[in-house]
Homo-oligomer: A and B are copies of this chain.
């Protein structure tokens, strides 16, 4: 592989950007902080969407669509929410342009000023709960289990493709329930769906836990999350599921008549994952030869590259290649036969290796004669000659094996990079020399977490959901603690 791009060791951040660019996943646009998601990157997102959407529907949810715009006043209705979301946002103030009287293109028509400014949704709790008020009268109208696939905008000052952009794509589930118990169960269920998706589709092991107060969603009673570890030892929050209590029901006056005929406020959850998962996918598996994709999410699972010199060879090889393509597609494999004559086989090998295609099949005239093909796997960069009549089974088991190998590799990496720290010195040393997850005791106060963050840039990624209680002393203040929490520097 040509070495005109960065390795992880040389410059992790540049390595990431090089992959995004050279694998044609995305690029910066003319609009500050907004990216263009290119076809190959978008195809990964489409595969994520398809898998998640099925999981949402299998758990009883339906999709709907709510307005892009939110009246400014809606944000002020929930006190915490306004602090968290109504600050760095895109604000629509006018609804008409007119020809510039001086002849220079178009200018804003000051006569077309909105009475109340509209905010481009940074998240939709407010507009959705304003809508739910009309949907809910009685317990018979509950639960409401709705999801939305949409674009949202948060005016981030420092952006990075997929990981943090001003506009991004996501899904946001918004559910309404008659009881606290049911809303909590929903919150947990969707956290499990996210963990299942991360581990079994993205091949990324995740920790499930609760966010500390500092990292909680603005407006939530409790935020649950899944946290993944990237190859540079930084954590990445891969999904959140919020128990909103009755906060939004109270802010938007959403009550229901219970079976007993009493008027009560509705209980809520919301949950979301976004295109930042594409960034996590890139960073979790890729290597110094480019992108590595788990087969379940790869836009192309198997590429066929023909090798020939003469036109006659081309004809024979292509015929075989098409036959193989059809066979594999019948088995449900996403196959591409790259028969372009504008590029040489070697160039194509590099191209698909860099783009992370899990399995590559090369076939030349000798192979056709011998009834063989060359099969290469991207994860461990090995290849072998396979008899044509064993190819179907080989490809299927390779795809399965690559999916599991990537997960095991990521899991081993996380285990190697999860350490306990029992003193402040040890904590700082691990963070600076090794990174990764640090299990440490914490006194439970927002103040201490803030001080640790100020000094080290590490935050509490989550308070693990498991029941491993252990008495100890806060790594920073020495005050008593009942349980270790997970610290890390994070994306």
Write the residues of chain A forming the contact surface with B, with a CB cutoff of 8 angstroms. Answer: 27, 29-31, 34-39, 42-43, 45-46, 62-76, 82, 86-98, 105-106, 108, 117-120, 127, 130-131, 134, 140, 146, 150-151, 153, 155, 167, 169, 342
State how many angstroms separate the Cβ of A55 from the closest Cβ of chain B: 16
Collect the chain B residues with CB atoms within 8 Å of residue A82's CB: 105-106
| Most chain B beta carbons < 10 A, residue from A62, A65, A88 | A65
State how many angstroms separate the Cβ of A62 from the closest Cβ of chain B: 4
Known: A36-B131, A71-B30, A71-B31. A64 touches B42 (CB 8 A): yes
| Most chain B beta carbons < 10 A, residue from A34, A45, A71, A146 | A34
**Contact across chains for A106 and B63 when beta carbons are under 8 A apart:** no
Known: A97-B72, A97-B119. A63 touches B92 (CB 8 A): no
| Most chain B beta carbons < 10 A, residue from A87, A88, A146, A150 | A87
**Contact across chains for A88 and B94 when beta carbons are under 8 A apart:** no
Which of B62, B105, B108 contacts A43, CB < 8 Å?
B62
State how many angstroms separate the Cβ of A173 from the closest Cβ of chain B: 12
**Contact across chains for A105 and B65 when beta carbons are under 8 A apart:** no
Which of B27, B45, B89, B127 contacts A30, CB < 8 Å?
B127
Collect the chain B residues with CB atoms within 8 Å of residue A117's CB: 108
Known: A96-B88, A167-B67. A106 touches B75 (CB 8 A): yes
State how many angstroms separate the Cβ of A200 from the closest Cβ of chain B: 24
7 A-B pairs besides A42-B62, A42-B65, A76-B106 with CB distance below 8 A are A42-B64, A72-B97, A82-B105, A87-B98, A91-B97, A95-B155, A140-B342
State how many angstroms separate the Cβ of A175 from the closest Cβ of chain B: 12
CA gap between A39 and B82 in the complex, in Å: 28
State how many angstroms separate the Cβ of A265 from the closest Cβ of chain B: 20
Collect the chain B residues with CB atoms within 8 Å of residue A86's CB: 97, 106
**Contact across chains for A92 and B95 when beta carbons are under 8 A apart:** no
CA gap between A346 and B290 in the complex, in Å: 62
CA gap between A71 and B30 in the complex, in Å: 8
CA gap between A95 and B150 in the complex, in Å: 20
Q: Which 10 A-B pairs have the closest CB atoms?
A: A76-B105, A39-B62, A34-B67, A37-B65, A91-B94, A95-B155, A93-B93, A31-B67, A31-B69, A90-B92
| Most chain B beta carbons < 10 A, residue from A29, A46, A71 | A29
Known: A31-B71, A72-B97. A64 touches B38 (CB 8 A): yes
CA gap between A153 and B27 in the complex, in Å: 24
